[in-house]
A = this chain, B = another copy of it.
Amino acid sequence: MTTEERVREAAVRLFAERGFHGTGIRDLAQAAGLSSATLYHYMGTKEDLLVEIMRTSLTELIGKAEQITGDETDRLVSLVKMHVRAHAEKPRETAVVDGEMRALTGERREEIVALRDRYERFWQDAIDDGVKARKLTVADPSVARLALLEMCSGVSRWYSPAGPVKLSDLTIQYAAMALGMLGAAR
């Protein structure tokens, strides 16, 4: 593993555990096994590091969402399973993306927000199409999207692979709950 990767992993862990502002440069350096000076040989500013983590994670999600095809219901189920799996397998990365957006400033913030919006488009389209095809019954598709995304993203805040729930079961349960809450025809 390269030093850059070690820095990145340490940053992901600490940002997720203590938050961006709660993590100091010296904490980061110690966790990566470097001096704080050497740290800057491998990264830009602390905010650069945060942006990189978020961009990578969001780009990966978008890439997976783009590969999803099928009818309205299939797409929604696939989105939910993919999203839940990602949040369970990489809880730290996704928690940083979901929780540290406010630490970004200026253009960097806009870039990441744009990526997030692009990702959420897939969800909105899937829900809208499902409603149009009368396969889903929701009062307000936008509210449904927000509620569904919050529910699925929350996985990163509590799921542990060491716990009693298998990941494969988790994705199935979430898919079922998603269809239920969107009033899918049974």
Contact = CB atoms under 8 A, between A and B. Distances in A.
A72 B21 CA distance: 43
A173 B143 contact: yes
Interface string A151-179: 10111011000000100011011101110
A19 B173 CA distance: 33
Interface residues of A, number: 38
A169 to B, nearest CB: 7
Q: Which of A102, A151, A155 has the most CB of B within 10 A?
A: A151
Contacts of A41: none
A120 to B, nearest CB: 11
Contacts of A173: 138-140, 143-144
Contacts of A149: 154
A68 interface: no
A180 interface: yes
A178 B147 CA distance: 10
Interface string A111-153: 0000000000000000000000000001110011011111101
Contacts of A177: 138, 144, 147, 181-182
A183 B177 CA distance: 8
A146 B169 contact: no
A153 B157 CA distance: 13
B176 A139 contact: yes
Given A18-B102, A22-B103, A174 B151 contact: no
Contacts of A139: 169, 172-173, 176
10 contacts: A17-B102, A18-B21, A19-B19, A19-B103, A22-B102, A139-B172, A148-B151, A151-B181, A153-B154, A154-B154
